[in-house]
């Protein structure tokens, strides 16, 4: 399914839009913000959609089938194409192998080209082998059994080969490796095997690729994860070489972690690979971005802009992806919300009066810093985000359009009420 120009043209901005926009332009005029430049920045910011997020989530007791879910990689590309037509915020897919194995490369690449979509970072699934037995106890790349490690390395190399054919430029490695009880695993041996395995993958990788190392403190393991924190991840990245960097998944941190500081510390070392956007209240909840801690996301973007503008690490070197899980709701609706929420956080952070902030940081003036941040955060930037979207060819209100066009209904008709690609 693809929307026609007529479909899109039928949605114009409401009558408040230009008034809101003018007001914002006037209010920020003294901050000497070039509005067109600002809107181009917001436009340019594009977020990848993971192939795993387009259907309803994990095979848990809380799962619910929305209907019309894509049945294969090509249908997933089509869904992202729809998202892109409406929002103009996502120009790429991040493919999980073997879950979303291309059946016909030619066809898949042609479809992507037709939809103006690119292939973002590839994802191996070292967390799981297919018969769910070999990796179950002691993992993949760090497994004490050399044969299993080699199998896991080969899997990652295969993912790179597939990615090369698709035109991807990076590989994300998340290992579920770890142990359930004290004593079960030898911490240092496991780390050593993991480093060796990653080195083989790193060396297999084309020279213009980026290796993104994810970390996660716990789950599915109860006691220890081989790469639990940014410290371990960055130690491995530095040992591998300059194309290896650290991926930050917002939900994968211990309680109370200051994530915006981690972002700054990684940029201090030019070590930030990119993000998996989501939110969480308790554990690794895979909730939609900004559904719990929108201010945290704003502070993270504040650091990203600061790091870019100060020359610590370029904006272009960073990858952006949503990584939330949709169990009981329509994934396309929530992805539209996610794209909007992330863009809003970014746009608000762009409004921070950075010059004034630097001045008060020099003196540690907390009240003034708070005032400067709030001035940006409390601003309703939706008209700006909307304007950027319209100028890029999207619709004013994507959610509204999605409903009026009855997209889900049409997908159900096309694909069936119980369609899905795989359960995991």
Residues of span 342-371 touching a second copy by CB under 8 A: 344, 357-358, 360-367, 369-371
Among 186, 196, 392, 415, binds a second copy (CB under 8 A): 186
Q: Quick check: helix, strand or coil at residue 191?
A: helix
Q: Which of residues 286-305 bind a second copy (CB under 8 A)?
A: 286-288, 290-295, 299, 302-303
How many residues in the shown chain lie near a second copy by CB under 8 A?
Answer: 114
CA distances from residue 387 to 26, 30, 83, 177 in whole angstroms, order as listed: 16, 21, 17, 45
Among 8, 33, 235, 412, binds a second copy (CB under 8 A): 235
CB of 208 to a second copy, least distance (A): 27
Q: How many CB atoms lie within 10 A of CB 215?
A: 24
Closer to a second copy by Cβ: residue 162 or 347: 347
Closer to a second copy by Cβ: residue 4 or 362: 362
Q: Quick check: helix, strand or coil at residue 265?
A: helix
Whether 11 contacts 400, CB under 8 Å: yes
Window contacting a second copy (CB under 8 A); options: 84-92, 103-111, 322-330, 410-418: 322-330
Among 61, 103, 147, 208, binds a second copy (CB under 8 A): 61
Q: Which of residues 192-231 bind a second copy (CB under 8 A)?
A: 192, 217-224, 228-231
Q: Which of residues 80-99 bind a second copy (CB under 8 A)?
A: none
Whether 334 contacts 326, CB under 8 Å: yes
Distance between CA atoms of 403 and 204, rounded to whole angstroms? 46
Closer to a second copy by Cβ: residue 403 or 410: 403
**Structure-token match 């994934």, residue found:** 331
CB of 3 to a second copy, least distance (A): 20
Closer to a second copy by Cβ: residue 84 or 290: 290
The continuous run of DSSP H or E covering 275 comes out as strand 272-277
CB of 211 to a second copy, least distance (A): 19
CB of 33 to a second copy, least distance (A): 15
Angle, helices 105-114 vs 73-87, to 10°: value is 10
Angle, helices 187-204 vs 146-166, to 10°: value is 30
Q: How many CB atoms lie within 10 A of CB 106?
A: 9
CB of 29 to a second copy, least distance (A): 10
Quick note: the x/- pattern for a second copy over 3-42, rule CB under 8 A, is: -------------x--xx--x--xx---------------
The continuous run of DSSP H or E covering 347 comes out as helix 331-350
CB of 189 to a second copy, least distance (A): 7
Angle, helices 366-377 vs 294-309, to 10°: value is 100
Torsion angle defined by CA atoms of residues 95, 99, 103 and 106, in that order, rounded to the nearest 10 degrees: 0
Using CB under 8 A as the binding rule, whether residue 314 contacts a second copy is answered as: no
Opening angle at CA 73, ends 57 and 168, nearest 5 = 105
Q: Quick check: helix, strand or coil at residue 297?
A: helix
Using CB under 8 A as the binding rule, whether residue 127 contacts a second copy is answered as: yes
CB of 74 to a second copy, least distance (A): 26
Window contacting a second copy (CB under 8 A); options: 85-93, 137-145, 166-174, 206-214: 137-145
Quick note: the x/- pattern for a second copy over 243-282, rule CB under 8 A, is: -----------xxxxx-xx--xx-xxx----------xxx
Among 169, 232, 305, 412, binds a second copy (CB under 8 A): 232
Which stretches does DSSP call E strand in 23-180?
49-50, 92-94, 96-97, 118-119, 122-124, 170-173, 178-179
Among 3, 8, 33, 63, binds a second copy (CB under 8 A): 63
My answer on whether omega of the bond before 98 falls inside 30° of 0, hence cis, is yes
Closer to a second copy by Cβ: residue 90 or 234: 234
């Amino acid at each position: 399914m693809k929307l026609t120009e007529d479909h899109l043209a039928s949605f114009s901005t409401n009558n408040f839009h230009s008034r809101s926009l003018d007001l914002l332009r006037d209010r920020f005029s003294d901050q000497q913000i070039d509005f067109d430049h600002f809107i181009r920045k917001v436009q340019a910011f594009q977020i990848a959609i993971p192939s795993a997020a387009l259907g309803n989530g994990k095979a848990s007791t809380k799962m619910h089938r929305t209907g019309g879910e894509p049945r294969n990689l090509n249908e997933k590309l089509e869904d992202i194409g729809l998202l892109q037509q409406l929002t103009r915020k996502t120009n790429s897919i991040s493919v999980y192998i073997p879950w979303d194995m291309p059946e016909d490369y030619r066809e898949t690449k042609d479809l992507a080209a037709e939809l103006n979509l690119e292939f973002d970072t590839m994802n191996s699934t070292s967390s799981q082998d297919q018969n769910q037995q070999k990796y179950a106890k002691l993992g993949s790349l760090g497994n004490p059994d050399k044969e299993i490690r080699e199998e896991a390395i080969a899997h990652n190399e295969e993912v790179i080969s597939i990615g090369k054919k698709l035109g991807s430029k990076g590989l994300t490695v998340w290992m579920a490796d770890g142990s359930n009880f004290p004593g079960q695993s030898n911490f240092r041996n496991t780390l050593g095997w993991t480093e060796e395995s990653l080195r083989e993958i790193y060396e297999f990788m084309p020279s213009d690729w980026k290796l993104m190392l994810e970390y996660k403190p716990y789950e599915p393991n109860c006691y220890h994860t081989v790469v639990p924190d940014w410290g371990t991840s960055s130690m491995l990245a530095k040992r591998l070489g300059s194309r290896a960097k650290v991926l930050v998944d917002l939900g994968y941190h211990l309680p109370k972690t200051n994530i915006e500081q981690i972002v700054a510390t990684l940029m201090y070392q030019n070590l930030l690979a990119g993000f998996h956007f989501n939110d969480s209240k308790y554990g690794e909840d895979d909730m939609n971005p900004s559904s719990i801690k929108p201010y945290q996301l704003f502070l993270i973007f504040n650091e990203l802009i600061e790091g870019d503008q100060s020359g610590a690490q370029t904006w272009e070197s960073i990858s952006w992806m949503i990584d939330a899980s949709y169990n009981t709701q329509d994934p396309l609706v929530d992805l539209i919300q996610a794209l909007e929420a992330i863009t809003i956080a970014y746009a608000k952070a762009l409004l921070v009066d950075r010059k004034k902030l630097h001045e008060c940081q020099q003196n540690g003036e907390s009240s003034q810093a708070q005032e400067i941040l709030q001035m940006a955060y409390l601003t309703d930037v939706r008209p700006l985000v909307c304007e950027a979207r319209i100028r890029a060819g999207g619709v004013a209100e994507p959610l509204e359009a999605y409903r009026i066009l009855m997209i889900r209904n049409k997908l159900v008709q096309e694909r069936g009420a119980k369609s899905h690609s795989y359960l995991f």
